[in-house]
A and B are shown apart, each in its own frame.
Chain A
């Protein structure tokens, strides 16, 4: 069943309503691992979006060609190819970023978000629509990564994108850079998102306005 949403909503939905991390809890591994600094989050988000776009282009083009039984193996090989291209590209032209992201770039291959989107969407819709959907999802993913990165960086090392903003009075919360901080921050963010999206709450807002 190919989706019937208008092209605009196809794109917008990825950003908030069906945000990959917040709404459908996909792609958590890199979200937690890399966001100890905002620039890492941004770099990982961009790399993931590149892979998402290129692989959904390829897969939606080949969707009738790949038999159902080998679709997972076939999709994942395509995704892995583009990830390797991205990894080598970063290593060749941006060595510093590649060093800081380190082992997490290859893990984009197994980012549940990408295979999830290909399986649920790109393998059933045309190229144009799949690209829009992937772009929306990618941007949604980048947003969450950068927000999480900023929060953890401010609390963890008192800086944003490496620029120290909090003076010496602020002793950084070491936990924010460590794994537990990542879990806690994401948990609170999801709770905030639930609060914001709660239908009954929107009635109050409407009543109040």
Chain B
């Protein structure tokens, strides 16, 4: 092996290592891919369950703005609500939020922030607020039942009065506003898709 001159030996060895690593990784990928997909599916199901009222099954439909999950209750086949993912940039980085809308697309049935890298302790309050002992999830919970038209509005250091207003987090206005902005424009997208698709109640 060492009688070959240096450069061919270099090429041979490096190629061998890379091919070997490619093989190992491909094999490992096929082993772990189903499990990872399974976990992702579980997380999705849990998220949808959080944002929509009780439902038995949901069908997913691809739209240009991401997948749309239509949840129905088996027994009566009537529409329980619609869920979809809203993605946008928050204060530090990307925010991914699962959103649930009532069948008539006028009221939110709930939101859940899946991924965020906001400032720990401040921006992270959009998920959970440890300092508020009695109601740590107050921020996402307050969205339940809020009207989306004409658009969600963040109210700072005052109690929300209108039915489309939510209470902002003190010290994390940018994060709170980011959440509502992301929701507003994704809801608008879904509305257009929903109407063009001719949903049961548009």
Interface residues of A (CB under 8 A from B): 36, 65-67, 69-70, 73-74, 77-78, 80-81, 84-85, 88-89, 91-93, 95, 102, 156-157, 168, 172, 174, 177-178
Contact = CB atoms under 8 A, between A and B. Distances in A.
B21 A177 contact: no
A77 B14 CA distance: 9
A123 B24 CA distance: 22
Contact of A88 (B17, B21, B32, B122): B32
Given A77-B21, A84-B28, A88-B29, A70 B121 contact: no
Contact of A177 (B17, B25, B35, B121): B121
A102 B43 CA distance: 16
A91 B14 contact: no
A91 B121 CA distance: 26
A157 B130 CA distance: 9
A78 B121 contact: no
Sorted from nearest, which 5 A-B pairs have the closest CB atoms?
A: A92-B35, A81-B21, A92-B32, A177-B120, A88-B32
B35 to A, nearest CB: 4
Interface of B: 1, 6, 9-10, 13-14, 17-18, 21, 24-25, 28-29, 31-32, 35-36, 39, 43, 117, 119-122, 130, 133
A153 to B, nearest CB: 11
A172 B117 CA distance: 19
Nearest to B38: A92
B120 A92 contact: no
A86 to B, nearest CB: 10
Nearest to A173: B121
Contacts of A156: 120-121
A81 B29 CA distance: 12
A91 B36 contact: yes
A67 B24 contact: no
9 contacts: A36-B120, A67-B10, A77-B18, A81-B21, A84-B28, A85-B28, A91-B32, A157-B130, A178-B119
A47 to B, nearest CB: 15
Contact of B6 (A69, A74, A91): A69
A77 B17 contact: yes
Nearest to A75: B17
B17 A67 contact: no
B41 to A, nearest CB: 11
A166 B21 CA distance: 48
Contact of B121 (A66, A67, A89, A174): A174
Contacts of B43: 95
Given A67-B6, A73-B14, A178-B121, 4 more contacts: A74-B13, A74-B14, A92-B36, A177-B121
Contacts of B121: 156-157, 172, 174, 177-178
Nearest to B6: A67
B21 A91 contact: no
B32 A80 contact: no
Nearest to B18: A77
Contacts of B13: 65-67, 70, 74
A62 B1 CA distance: 13
